[in-house]
Amino acid sequence: MAMSSRLGGGSSGGSGRTRVGRYELGRTLGEGSFAKVKFARNVETNENVAIKILDKEKVLKHKMIGQIKREISTMKLIRHPNVIRMYEVMASKTKIYIVMEFVTGGELFDKIATKGRLKEDEARKYFQQLINAVDYCHSRGVYHRDLKPENLLLDANGVLKVSDFGLSALPQQVREDGLLHTTCGTPNYVAPEVINNKGYDGAKADLWSCGVILFVLMAGYLPFEESNLMALYKKIFKAEFSCPPWFSTSAKKLIKKILDPNPSTRITIAEVLENDWFKKGYQPPVFQQEDASLDDVNAIFNESTDSPNLVVERREERSTTPVTMNAFELISKSQGLDLGSLFEKQMGLVKRETRFTSKCPANEIISKIEQASVPLGFDVKKNNYKLKLHGEKTGRKGHLSIATEIFEVAPSLHMVELRKAGGDTLEFHKFYKNLATGLKDIVWQSGDEVKDEEMNSGMLL
């Protein structure tokens, strides 16, 4: 796993890094309203991990302590070859750190983005692994509630790993009727009863999402797709979709049984496991249930702020140059090293992050982004070679906020990454299209111009 000791690390001088316990934190891999995920390295074993960082204040504010403790405790005990492993849990006075397995194979859907749809046998293999993971976690009382492409990762051997089980859709509550009541998830993958907000069975809702994922693997596009949200919901409520002609008859039948808008007549996971199409070439997962301790989980939820188990974030002095990105990380972030394109090619919708390269000095890039963002109604906060852009207007999912970071790829080449930190993904895409117009002068282009179709490609996954 420790393929590169400096993956996600600081500049070559080692400054600007943060230590938490025995882990050295690196670059941000993703962020949302409740948590941030950072790359990290265990300095004792040199092993690469991912650390999910939760804000204690937000957790307390939303009365989520009990739920998070339950979820973390369960996930700590789960050992399954198709579920991202949770190693340990730590806390400081203000944050909770969940140390997880870091996998290097990227997202499953990157395969489709680069090579197109999968053949039925290959799609079935991944679907079998997905159902194995989901079924196992359900048997332990954990529901994902937000199964979508960015949560489906591949390890170095191409084995599917589901991430964010039990931690994805916070906050969540089960009421007296035994049903979940928070609408969450990516609209295209969400079951109709979740959108309806009348309460839903987590297992049945997860299976619907698995059905959408299977469709996309085999078709190369979404079964339900509309630019207007209400039109999208109408299609989902009626399960209005059609399978392409290359789907086999038995695959079509199974998908129609899974994408049944009525949860009471929808096929169950137990029935999927007995389905002839599903069983073809099926190999049940082989694994041993190891003993796992919950001491660290109990310790971090100790009410005492003077708990000896608290860790401290030790920040070394700030770097005065952008973070250096090494070759391994560059390859892992860039499909085919096509650094010239302003947008990564994806499957027709928008991703939550995008990046471009520039031959301009880092200071010039920062001032250009600031100049282009302010007229678009964004407040800009600078912190060395990182920017936080915060939208002044309230959007569909609250204020849009964007994190921007600049990395040095070579002495005369920088890579700029923009990530949606809050708000709506489609609004992020619109903002970026507008921002790109103001950044034309600084973007390094591989040809005379970046084609319009390249600029407009991306995917809401």
- Answer yes or no: is 52 a known binding residue: yes
Residue 69 domain-assigned (yes or no): yes
CATH of the domain at 424: 3.30.310.80
Q: Which parts of the chain register pLDDT below 50?
A: 1-15, 169-185, 304-305, 328, 331-332, 334-350, 446-461
Which of 102, 131, 153 terminates a domain? The answer is 102
Residues 98 and 141 grouped into a single domain:
no
Query: Do 94 and 115 belong to one domain?
Result: no
Q: Which of 55, 121, 135, 146 is catalytic?
A: 146
Residues 361 and 255 in one domain: no
Q: Is residue 377 part of a domain?
A: yes
Is 265 inside a domain boundary?
Answer: yes
- Per the structure, the complete domain to which residue 249 belongs is given by 108-279
- Catalytic-residue membership of 146: yes
User: Is residue 353 one of the residues assigned to a domain?
Assistant: yes
Residues 257 and 135 in one domain: yes
- Two tokens at 8? 């996600």
> Are both 86 and 118 inside the same structural domain?
no
The model's pTM:
0.64
- Domain co-membership, 266 together with 352: no
Domain annotation covers residue 309: no
**pLDDT computed for residue 32 by the predictor:** 64
What is the number of structural domains in the chain? 3
Rounded to 10°, the helix 249-258/202-219 angle is 150
Residues 159 and 214 placed together within one structural domain of the fold: yes
What is the structure's pLDDT at 143? Answer: 81
One domain, residues 341 and 444: yes
Task: Tell whether 289 is covered by a domain.
Answer: no
- The domain that contains 144 carries what CATH number? 1.10.510.10
Per-residue pLDDT, 160: 94
- Whether 69 contacts 121, CB under 8 Å: no
Res 291: pLDDT:
65
State whether 248 and 389 are in the same domain.
no
What integer pLDDT is reported at residue 317 of this predicted model?
55
Domain-terminating residue out of 261, 279, 297: 279
Is 421 contained in some domain?
A: yes
Q: Are residues 344 and 448 in the same domain?
A: yes
Of 70, 102, 134, the last residue of a domain is 102
Identify whether residues 328 and 451 lie together within a single domain.
yes
Same-domain pairing of 85 and 208: no
Residue 285 forms part of a structural domain: no
Find tokens 């401290």 and name the residue.
312
Long-range contacts of 393-400 (CB under 8 A, 24+ apart): 395/423, 395/424, 395/427, 396/229, 396/423, 396/424, 396/426, 396/427, 397/422, 397/423, 397/424, 397/427, 398/33, 398/422, 398/423, 399/423, 400/424, 400/427, 400/428, 400/431
